[in-house]
Amino acid sequence: MQLEVIGVGGAGCRIADAIRAAEPADHSFLTDVFAFDTDADDLARTVIPESHRFQYGEDASDPDAGLERGLAIGQESVDELLGALEGGRGTSLAADAVLLTVGLGGATGGGTAPALVAALQRRYDAPVYVLATLPADREFDAEAETSSAGHRTSDHADDGPPRPDAAANAIESLERLDGLASAIIAFDTDAWLRPGEGLVDGRDRCNRNLATRVAAVFASGGDSDGAVAQTVIDTSDVRRILGDESAIVTLGYGEQTVETSGSRFGLGLLPSEPDVETSEAVSAIETVVRKGIRGKHTLECDPVTAERGLLIVGGPPAWLNRRAIAEGRRTLESAIGGSGILGGDAPRPDGDRVFAAVVFAGVKSDRLEELRAAAD
């Protein structure tokens, strides 16, 4: 699936940077990556080429600028932002879909995203997905000693000024995106921070983890250096699972390093496919599928609440045992409450890891209810 990524606001631009860095060298899936921000200094820190960066509006990252001001700036600037997109890559959209990355809780990203998503949906005949990070408890609750995930929220001076309206802003932005975004992929910052870790300290690591999952899902289709998937996950498959009705989506992921040095019985004089025991391949796939389904998700939820699911198993072709992948798909089918399940493989001849990327679409999450309660 060919994807255009648009980072909006400081957090959104950092995520767009991370996705660009996570793109597999042998399997390109990004057509363009853009960075939009009201803060010139934050924008200058991105590694996205200057031709694809654009400063707009006032500095809505000012803590005194509320979400209403951010919404107004977004609405006032939307035509300007569309012009910046078309100035960077032309009037036509080469991608199969657009992914808008944004951090919710502040004014810039949450304020601009609804207007920009609506404009993109009107302009192009392609789905517009939103990848949204949710604020951590410490950002809006100065009294919180422990996060909802059991993490100690130590005082970190570099985390920036408190944002008492962060929960309310995040919920309002999500509500405004409902009915506009084709789907909303959520990432719960609070659950991913380590004990005692500050927001600034943890954000690069969190962004890398998030970008790895995004790349595993959206770079799944097609061929890679001549390796043909047994069951290709194409654009229509991804669109079918994510839907077009603003479903809340969470991503699971598991990986395992495997041996790729060639036949263990040969002399090593010529490159060859590794001689993989069937039991080893099956075990590796079972392990990563289990991690993807039952391990840490970008937004924690009970898989049984999902309406649809997608499983992608990738790695060196010799390790992609078809029966094990089919069994993984049945495992996913039994884990979710819905009946819409798709699965496929993604050969990576130059890779040294077997991975499983899992998409849960249409989920319900206690974390969103916690943020709604904090917003009241």
Q: What order do you get walking across the sheet with 97-103 strand by strand?
A: 53-55, 30-37, 3-8, 97-103, 128-134, 183-188, 247-257, 353-361, 308-315, 340-347
Predicted local confidence at residue 228, as pLDDT: 73
Report the helix count and the strand count for the chain, using DSSP H and E.
12, 10
Q: How confident is the model at residue 164 (pLDDT cuts 50, 70, 90)?
A: confident
Q: How confident is the model at residue 243 (pLDDT cuts 50, 70, 90)?
A: very high
Predicted local confidence at residue 144, as pLDDT: 60
Annotated binding site: 107-109, 139, 207
Average pLDDT score over residue span 288-294: 97
Residue 236 scores a pLDDT above 70: yes
Annotated binding site for GTP: 107-109, 139, 207
Rounded CA-CA distance 252/259 in Å is 24
Mind listing the pLDDT tens digit for each residue in 37-51? 999 999 999 999 999
Residue 159 scores a pLDDT above 80: no
For the chain, the straight-line distance linking the first and the last C-alpha, in angstroms and rounded, comes to 40
Predicted local confidence at residue 151, as pLDDT: 44
Q: How confident is the model at residue 176 (pLDDT cuts 50, 70, 90)?
A: very high
Domains in the chain, CATH or no CATH each: 3-219 (3.40.50.1440), 250-361 (3.30.1330.20)
CB atoms within 10 A of CB 81: 22
Residue 166 scores a pLDDT above 80: yes
Q: Bigger pLDDT: 330 or 229?
A: 330
Rounded CA-CA distance 79/90 in Å is 15
Are 337 and 13 spatial neighbours (Cβ–Cβ below 8 Å)?
A: no
Predicted local confidence at residue 161, as pLDDT: 64
Percent of the chain with pLDDT over 70: 88
Mind listing the pLDDT tens digit for each residue in 95-109? 999 999 999 998 999
Whole-number mean pLDDT of the chain? 89
Mind listing the pLDDT tens digit for each residue in 311-348? 999 999 999 999 999 999 999 999 998 778 999 999 99
Predicted local confidence at residue 85, as pLDDT: 96
Q: How confident is the model at residue 35 (pLDDT cuts 50, 70, 90)?
A: very high
Question: Beta strands 30-37 and 247-257: pairing type?
Answer: unpaired
- The one-character DSSP state at 185 is E
Percent of the chain with pLDDT over 90: 75
CB-based contacts of 160, cutoff 8 Å, min separation 6: 199, 200
Q: Give the lowest-confidence range in 9-23, 249-263, 279-293, 323-337.
A: 249-263
Q: Bigger pLDDT: 322 or 156?
A: 322
Longest dimension (CA), the chain: 69
Predicted local confidence at residue 61, as pLDDT: 59
Residue 6 scores a pLDDT above 80: yes
Q: What are phi and psi of 274, to 5 degrees?
A: -65, 145
What does the radius of gyration of the chain's CA atoms come to, in whole angstroms?
21
Mind listing the pLDDT tens digit for each residue in 69-86? 999 999 999 999 999 999
Rounded CA-CA distance 20/265 in Å is 39
Average pLDDT score over residue span 350-360: 95
